[in-house]
Structure 1
Amino acid sequence: MSQINCTDPEAKFQYHLFPTVYILALVVGLPGNLAALFVYAVRIKSRTAFSVYISNLAMADIVILCTLPFRIHYHLHKNNWVFGDFACLVTGTLYFANIYMSICFMTCICVDRYMAAVHPHTYLRMRSPKCSLVVSVGLWCFGGAAILIFILMGPLESGDDSSGHSCFENFAQREWNERLRMYSIVSLVFGSLLPSIIILVCYPLAAKRISMIGTKTAQKAVRVIYTILAITILCFLPNHVVYLLHLLQRLEVIQSCSIRGSIYNARRVTMALVTLNTCLDPVLYYMTTSYFRWEHLKRTRLWGMVSRRRGVYTISVT
């Protein structure tokens, strides 16, 4: 049976799930991310690659959070969009694009910490914040160009609006064939699967190397790594897996209507979990605030230890 003949279930639980998660994200995530952006971008004068990536991660989360009031209204009114096609296009594009931007900046933090722990000599040559600024600007330029092109292509046509005016879901098959297919494949590969593989491989390697040091600072660094891994596994990984299934469904590789219904329901849950990431990121910011308090100690004492004892490295990995 072709998926075209299937109809999505109503999934009434989403009318309560999404508003609850979005309101929680606004109450907890918005103040936390604004505070992190202020601290890491304004208060801290000594720039590092870590502080640059953290600032950009907070900015991406803030953009996501600013779109949530529209989505709260949408789901409270049983997925009926009343703000017009252009507002739907802009808020929807910003919401999903910045989810991928969040994942990319978390991946940048992962690579930076991995290099610091596993390849310290190379990291010492590359740890200038200029490199992280170039990477960040490049990511924002790429994301901004993709957002602009998508918006300029005009509103998305929905398939079945019998129960209300849909926004960024229930796309017509023509929209999928002509516009969304390539965006979805590129987003899945470069915005979901590749970053997840990098995080899930690099962070355990970094944690293994740091755990050999045995100091309290190293233990704290390992806790930070496990926190990021937990955020990735809880918030992002389920969404990536379900999105892959959703893509296979749209490509008609999966044609069963019952499986389609299960994927639709699972996608509601995993999309809520992705937004929950904006609440958990401030926990990461809080755990890493001491990074800058012992940065001076690292430079004066720990780096001296590196120079005196060949082959022994004490690297900041918070």
Structure 2
Amino acid sequence: MADISWTEGVANETVANASSELSLEADFQYCLFTVIYSVVFVLGLIENVLALYLLSCKVKHTSHSYVYMINLALVDTLFVCVLPFKIHYHLNRNHWIFGDMACRITGTLYYTNIYLSIAFFTCVCADCYIAVLHPFTYIRIKVIHYVTVVTILWVIALSVMVPLILGGPLHNSGVRNVTACFEDFATSSMALYNILALVFGFVIPFSIILISYPLIAKRISQIKHSIRKRKALSTVYIILVICTLCFLPYHLTHLLHFLMRIQVIQNESFANFIYKMRRVALALVSFSCCLNPLLCYFTSSSKQWRFNFKLRFRSKTVYTICDQKFGESSYVYKLQQRRGNKNHRDGIN
């Protein structure tokens, strides 16, 4: 995935091939990324910080899968925190002024967010699968198992980012004499990395989600109407929507762009179309930070996610367990008792 990052090059990029040169233009990207990243920064920061707070402090959990949700909110929060640097980068027409280390951090967090998000989605879907189809196995799984899985995923994600960090993210573009960030990686040396990232980072996890969903849906359709049934369906639906809207376009356009970079696709008009669609796909990826908190909401066992500012007053009606009808107040019950006593006294007299 390190072929070209963020904007995949300057606005008017020239891809030099052995036989020809492709001039790729996407002037709209400056406005597109500035607007999209600004919206994602505001909404994503508020939503994910709130999700971290609620998942860590307020919500009571009946499932250990909240460990995945906390880490998903964490990686999204880290991502949105570097967006101001990218907003400035695009406002200055893809000119990086923050130095080499800041460039390495932003690029690493970008790809870490993509693939850890997909990995956590897969873990949540697998958790639902085990809970629904193998409940007795599920109750034996402890929180330490979830923590172990999360730790392994973080280690793998950071390890595979080493080629990005060591690949020399900063370079000077000869087109407009600007300093570009994460946009000049040799295709020949990164070909294997791109293929492995596409297969193990998206194709396999997304296939697991697609295979697990029909099995989960079939099993819970046999269960009577319940809150857990609706929650499981909502969880899988949201995962499918986020993967389809945010990550599927990104990886499809990346595959086509990769084929263009290794000269499999040499048609100039089609290559220019891929280059432009790549910008739109990159913008859609960032929207996952705003949609992921919805998954945290539906997978939480508690529905107290909103702050209730309404004043609650004690009810003046008190219910007792000895009422003949459980919806009947003790006040009505006492009136009936008084009438009964009065009728009883009238009968004696």
Q: What is the TM-score normalised by the length of structure 1?
A: 0.82
* Distance in 1 of aligned mates of 2:21 and 2:153: 38
Matched, 1:136 2:147: no
In the aligned structure 1, how far is the partner of 2:176 from the partner of 2:55? 48
Q: 2:56 aligns with which of 29, 38, 41?
A: 41
Distance (Å, rounded) in 2 between the aligned partners of 1:10 and 1:256: 14
Provide the rounded CA distance (Å) in 2 between the counterparts of 1:139 and 1:160.
Answer: 39
Partners of 2:103 and 2:152 in 1: how far apart?
26
Q: 2:161 aligns with which of 124, 140, 147?
A: 147
1:300-315 maps to which residues of 2 (within 5 A)?
none
Asked if the contact 2:171/2:179 (under 8 Å) is kept, the reply is: no
How many percent identity over aligned positions? 43
Deviation string, structure 1 residues 49-74 (Cα, Å, up to 9, x no partner): 31000011111111111121111111
Aligned to 2:119: 104
Check the 8 A contact 1:111/1:202 in 2, yes or no: yes
Q: Indicate which of 23, 29, 35 corresponds to 1:20.
A: 35
State how far apart, in whole Å, the 2-side matches of 1:282 and 1:251 are.
38
Question: Aligned letter for 1:208?
Answer: K
From the superposition, tell whether residues 160 and 191 of structure 1 become closer, same or farther in structure 2 (CA, over 3 Å): farther
Name the amino acid aligned to 1:210.
Answer: I
Tell me whether 1:120 sits opposite 2:128 in the alignment.
no
2:289 — aligned with what?
278
Task: Tell me the matched-pair count.
Answer: 287
Tell which deviates more after alignment, 29-38 or 243-252: 243-252
Partner of 1:241: 252
Partner Cα separation in structure 2 for residue 99 and residue 10 of structure 1: 25
CA contact (8 A) 1:103 1:191 kept: yes
- Alpha-carbon displacement from aligned partner over 1:259-318 (angstroms, at most 9, x marks no partner): 2111111110111111000011122222333x1469xxxxxxxxxxxxxxxxxxxxxxxx
Asked if 2 retains the 8 angstrom alpha-carbon contact of 1:242 and 1:270, the reply is yes
8 A contact 2:173–2:179 mirrored in 1? no
Say whether residues 1:54 and 2:69 are aligned partners: yes
Identify if the C-alpha distance between structure 1 residues 132 and 238 changes in structure 2 by more than 3 Å, giving closer, same or farther: same
- CA deviations over 1:69-98 (Å, ceiling 9, x no partner): 111111112212222233212211221222
CA RMSD of superposed structures (Å): 2.4
CA drift at 1:153: 4.8
1:129-162 CA-partner distances (Å, limit 9, x unpaired): 1111101001111222233454245435466543
Question: Residue 266 of structure 1 aligns with which residue?
Answer: 277
Counting only pairs closer than 5 Å after superposition, residues 157-196 of structure 1 correspond to structure 2 as: 157=171, 160-162=174-176, 164-169=178-183, 171=184, 175-178=186-189, 180-196=190-206
**3-state SS, counterpart of residue 238 of structure 1:** helix
Which one-letter code corresponds to 1:24 in the other structure?
A: V
Give the distance between the partners of 1:156 and 1:249, measured in 2 at CA: 22
Higher helix share: 1
Q: Determine if contact 2:40/2:287 at 8 Å carries over to the other structure.
A: yes
Does residue 89 (structure 1) correspond to residue 104 (structure 2)? The answer is yes
Which whole-Å CA distance do the structure 2 matches of 1:287 and 1:45 have between them?
Answer: 13
Match runs of 1:67-82 below 5 Å: 67-82=82-97
Contact 1:18-1:72 at 8 Å conserved across structures = yes
CA–CA distance in structure 2, aligned partners of residues 213 and 120 of structure 1: 13
Q: CA deviation at 1:189?
A: 1.1
Deviations 1:102-144 (A, max 9, x none): 111111111111111123233233x311111101001111222
Specify the alignment match of 1:29 in structure 2: 44
Larger radius of gyration: 2
Gaps in structure 1 of 5+ consecutive residues: 295-318
Measure, in 1, the Cα distance between the counterparts of 2:271 and 2:295: 36
Q: Secondary structure at the match of 1:49?
A: coil
Q: Identify the structure with the greater strand proportion.
A: 2
**Mind listing any 5+ residue stretches in structure 2 that lack a counterpart?**
1-14, 305-349
Distance in 2 separating the partners of 1:69 and 1:254: 35
Q: 1:51 to 1:130 in 2, by over 3 A?
A: same
